[in-house]
């Protein structure tokens, strides 16, 4: 009886959420009205949901993320083989072959996330530490969302897109164009791309170029109206400023990548830590004796 009532109550609240009018400001996430589908997308060399022992810290972080983002229709976690298959069916066998041959994991992941995003959803790096359900600060009309990266390399380098987090509606032109550019880069057909990316398929640079080519202007913080009907949105990566975000408990870790946050500046809300504390992330557990000097390679 009790269980039945719970089921009925859950069904009723689902029905309510589906028919509720969009609220004025940050309405509760309703799966039916958002342009970006409520799918959570992850990838890694191995499936950390099935094989958490392969990297306990990242596996725990992913499980935490899934627990914080409610009412998702699908959690997709792909390993390398599944990524390759999806890239082939979503784009081309040729791009899948480049994926197979790419030796560096983070660049492999840059390609795979595009194939995952082609069907729409939110992609998150396995070491992105989610602080809250990020959808609540996004207007429902948003069909593309990502982050303007902190200037890591130097003041002369333009900001890249922090592609550890990307949300996109199904079939978004930026995702499609980025996959095409990816193939052009590996083929060596496009000098502009080869020069801009250098010796690696840097997804952060590629995504920025794909976005700016499509938008016809630079990435900018906050909501960006994209005619005819689109709305893009950018958050900012910055060092955690506790005066502005006093409710955020700082990370206890070692490394320059600790306590770098992703924030919505216009709403003054902190959404993520760029890197969770972990033995294989660029923010190491304090006193672990593991050097974080590899960190720059993981950006």
Ligand X SMILES: *[C@@H]1O[C@H](CO)[C@@H](O)[C@H](O)[C@H]1NC(C)=O
Task: Give the residue nearest to ligand X (CB).
Answer: 190
By CB under 6 A, residue 115 contacts ligand X? no
Among 32, 192, 242, 288, binds ligand X (CB under 6 A): 192
Per-residue b or e along 202-230, where b marks 16 or more CB atoms closer than 10 Å to that residue's CB = bbbbbbbbbbeebbeeebeeebbebeeeb
Q: Smaller CB distance to ligand X: residue 216 or 287?
A: 216
Return phi, psi of residue 16, to 5°. -60, -45
Question: Residue 183 Cβ, how far from ligand X at the closest point, in Å?
Answer: 11
Find where tokens 């269980």 sit: 3
By CB under 6 A, residue 190 contacts ligand X? yes
By CB under 6 A, residue 205 contacts ligand X? no
CB atoms near residue 198 (< 10 Å): 9
Find where tokens 């760029």 sit: 274
DSSP 176: H
Distance between CA atoms of residues 37 and 169, nearest Å: 7
Per-residue x/- track, 145-184, ligand X (CB under 6 A): ------------------------------------x---
Among the listed ranges 54-62, 68-76, 103-111, 190-198, the one in contact with ligand X (CB under 6 A) is: 190-198
By CB under 6 A, residue 87 contacts ligand X? no
Expressed in angstroms, the distance from the first to the final Cα of the chain is: 53
Among 74, 81, 187, 213, binds ligand X (CB under 6 A): 213
Binding stretches for ligand X (CB under 6 A): 181, 190, 192-193, 209, 213
């Amino acid at each position: 009886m009790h269980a039945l009532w719970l089921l009925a109550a859950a069904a009723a609240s689902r029905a309510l959420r589906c028919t509720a009018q969009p609220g004025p400001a940050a309405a509760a996430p309703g799966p039916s009205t958002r342009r970006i589908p409520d799918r959570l997308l992850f990838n890694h060399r191995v499936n950390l949901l099935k094989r958490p022992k392969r990297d306990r810290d990242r596996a725990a972080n992913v499980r935490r993320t899934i627990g914080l983002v409610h009412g998702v229709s699908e959690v997709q976690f792909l390993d390398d083989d599944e990524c390759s298959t999806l890239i082939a069916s979503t784009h081309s066998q040729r791009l899948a072959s480049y994926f197979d041959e790419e030796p560096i994991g983070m660049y492999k992941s840059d390609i795979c996330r595009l194939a995952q995003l082609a069907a729409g959803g939110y992609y998150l790096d396995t070491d992105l530490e989610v602080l809250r359900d990020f959808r609540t600060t996004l207007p429902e009309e948003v069909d593309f969302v990502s982050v303007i990266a902190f200037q890591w390399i130097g003041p002369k380098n333009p900001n890249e897109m922090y592609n550890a987090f990307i949300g996109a509606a199904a079939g978004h032109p930026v995702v499609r164009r980025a996959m095409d550019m990816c193939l052009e880069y590996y083929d060596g057909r496009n000098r502009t791309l080869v020069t801009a990316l250098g010796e690696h398929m840097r997804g952060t640079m590629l995504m920025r170029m794909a976005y700016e080519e499509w938008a016809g202007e630079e990435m900018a913080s906050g909501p960006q109206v994209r005619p005819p009907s689109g709305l893009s949105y950018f958050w900012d990566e910055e060092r955690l400023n506790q005066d502005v975000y006093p409710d955020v408990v700082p990370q206890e870790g070692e490394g320059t990548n600790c306590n770098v946050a992703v924030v919505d500046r216009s709403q003054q809300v902190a959404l993520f830590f760029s890197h969770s504390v972990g033995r294989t992330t660029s923010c190491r557990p304090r006193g672990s004796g593991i050097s974080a000097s590899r960190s720059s390679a993981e950006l």
